[in-house]
Structure 1
Amino acid sequence: FMGISRQAYYKRDRVYRARLEQDQKLINFVREIRVRQPCIGTRKLHSLMHAEREKQELHVGRDRLFEVLRDHRQLVRRKRAYHKTTDSHHRFRCHPNLLKPGPQQVIATRPEQVWVGDITYLSTASGNPAYLSLVTDAYSRKIVGYHVHGSLHADAVAQALR
């Protein structure tokens, strides 16, 4: 009727049920570990699983473990280190970038002719944000001025230029 033998049907059903049982054991193992370490990742779980030799039924590959955890919504999301340093939607006038190719392009031919500025985020042990403002010579790439500050206010950034 279905185009396969009765034996193949029941064999597939047995394999499917065995896989479901193994998935449930994996999820129970993961929940047991995550009670103590809630943010442990899948790769570390995989190495822990293989370190415990007495649990032979839990030996699955890394990709299979990822698949099972994804199906049961047990993957730990990565936390990206993102710190906002630019507000592109401000109310101030935007000046054209004269260093970009175009009719008014400025090309530095000697030191101290063109200076460029940039702001970058610094991570601190206290967790408070710190920002580093740099003024760099475009020709020699030498840092002309810098200032470390705790906010993105214009007066703190102007200190680097002074």
Structure 2
Amino acid sequence: MIAFVDKMRDRFGVELVCRVMRQAEVGFLTARGYRAAKARPASARQLRDELLIAEIVRLHAENYGVYGVRKMHALLRRQGWAIGRDQTGRLMRIAGVHGVKRSKKVFTTKSDPADEKPKDLVQRKFTADAPRRLWVADVTYVATWSGFAYVAFVTDVFSRRIVGWNVASTLKADILPLQALNMAAWAADGNLDGLVHHADHGSNYLAVVYTDRIVELGATPSTGTVGDSFDCQSVSAASRKDEVVLAG
């Protein structure tokens, strides 16, 4: 009540604010009650709250602004403050600080049932007898401070090496996976005759711009079901171990 009157007093005056609010809300304080409350010295609770709020703001900033109520409560306890979790939440709301919320699940594979799909030429047999016989392509993502960074990569099954990759802020076929394919093709001198390119049913891999590029390079497109183009633990584990780790 007092905070509301403080906010409106310069515009309407204390008497008018209190009179109007008492008609709208039972028990609203009178102008005399407001002045008496303002004249009273701050209570021990108010003084303690002010100290805690300043401490919460400081600790929140020192921890990169990501701590929510649970972690802030534990941190304050470790700092020697006798404070409850509910009180921590109340003071954080007053201070205007909050934790970082968990991001929603990101789907890197979006299948369109209407798309015409190449046949599955691999049948989950992720083996090859020579380089440039079977490439598998997939997309993953990395959470960064500024959002999600999507990573497309092409792996040669024979060598277990990532031969093409690209990082972008979008899943669009012509921006993300196509650039990874072009990198791999450039490293192979653009000659992919006899190569099978395998991906899942994601719309970015079934886009015309992507499938046309596979055929243009002389390769044969192949698709599995959603999410399993790279579903071979020996291939994925070896590739991630041997290649550089991309950090966003």
TM-score, normalised by the number of residues in structure 1 = 0.48
Higher CA-based Rg: 2
Q: Structure with the greater relative contact order (CA < 8 A, sep ≥ 6): 1 or 2?
A: 2
Structure with higher helix content: 2
